[in-house]
Amino acid sequence: MGIAFAGEATAIFVKTSSQESPIPWAGVVFIKDHKMLMLKETNKSFLLVPGGKVEPSETNEQAAIREVYEELGVSASNLAPLVTIREDSKKSGQLVEFRVFTGDLDGEPDEVNLPEKTEYVVWADSSTIFETGGLSKKLIPLLVEKDMIN
């Protein structure tokens, strides 16, 4: 796994087992009152940050905005790079590069009108780390360290 904060000279890199080009993913962290917005998809047993795979015709930013709309039913704006995390996927074993942005929600997700694949959304603090999976487990401690969430 490798981690690099945008705009900072310090980066943490850990070896990955694969050397191929990484599969690009992008997501957005929304912060309000020192909590981050997370979602639970109907086919998953844990909380996630909105995001997903970058399509070949998209930039990272475009993919992040599309994924937010697909998962939350609202648009995102004012994206700013936060961190890049590179790691081997536990599911496929392939190297994944996840570009994480901060941004603003253009409206609030409506529980009644959430997209079908999203079961619910929650404003979460670091105590939810045990309910998260994958990237979120790595992202939460970084957000606490940067004093973005409690």
Summarised one tens digit per residue, pLDDT across range 89-111 is 777 778 889 999 999 999 988 87
Summarised one tens digit per residue, pLDDT across range 17-65 is 555 789 999 999 999 999 999 999 988 888 889 999 999 999 999 999 9
Helices (H) and strands (E) in the chain, counts: 2, 10
Residues facing residue 25 across a β-bridge = 53, 98
Contact between 97 and 22 (Cβ < 8 Å): yes
Q: What is the pTM of this model?
A: 0.84
CA-angle at 133, arms to 48 and 37, nearest 5°: 25
Residues facing residue 51 across a β-bridge = 27
Please report, for the chain, the start and end positions of each structural domain, with discontinuous segments joined by +. 2-145
CATH topology of domain 2-145: Nucleoside Triphosphate Pyrophosphohydrolase (3.90.79)
